[in-house]
């Protein structure tokens, strides 16, 4: 049976989701390293200015306005997850 366009697209989504999952894990491991560094060097954990700069810089990579709007929502959620992860790590220290 020949693979349909739907099957091909679903396979591509599966591959992208796998990449996102692995990158998500990698990102949170780095977040943990950054938290340790900030604690060790007495640096404030929250840096709202940096968050804003990163959001603007990364959103600018997306040309489609509708997708860019969705990315900002996605990225804000990612930042919220990162903050919650840091709080959980802090509670265990």
CATH number for the domain harbouring residue 22: 1.20.59.10
Three-class SS string for the chain?
CCCCHHHHHHHHHHHHHHHHHHHHHHHHHHHHHHHHHHHHCCCCCCCHHHHHHHHHHHHCCCCCHHHHHHHHHHHHHHHHHHHHHHHHHHHHC
Residue 1 confidence (pLDDT) above 90: no
Number of domains present in the structure of the chain: 1
Q: State the first-to-last Cα distance of the chain, in angstroms, to the nearest integer.
A: 55
CB count in 10 Å sphere of residue 41: 7
Residue 93 confidence (pLDDT) above 90: no
The reported pLDDT for the residue numbered 69 is 97
pLDDT in tens, 45-92: 889 999 999 999 999 999 999 999 999 999 999 999 999 999 999 999
Please state, in angstroms and rounded to a whole number, the distance separating the CA atoms of residues 54 and 68: 14
The reported pLDDT for the residue numbered 91 is 93
For residue 64, the enclosing domain spans: 5-92
pLDDT in tens, 6-47: 999 999 999 999 999 999 999 999 999 999 999 999 999 889
- Global confidence as pTM: 0.88
């Amino acid at each position: 049976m020949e693979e349909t366009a739907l099957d091909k697209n679903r396979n591509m989504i599966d591959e992208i989701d796998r990449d996102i999952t692995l990158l998500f894990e990698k990102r949170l491991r780095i977040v943990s390293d950054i938290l340790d560094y900030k604690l060790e060097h007495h640096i404030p954990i929250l840096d709202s200015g940096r968050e804003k700069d990163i959001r603007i810089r990364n959103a600018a990579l997306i040309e489609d306005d509708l997708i860019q709007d969705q990315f900002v929502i996605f990225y804000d959620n990612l930042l919220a997850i990162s903050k919650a992860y840091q709080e959980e790590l802090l509670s265990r220290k």
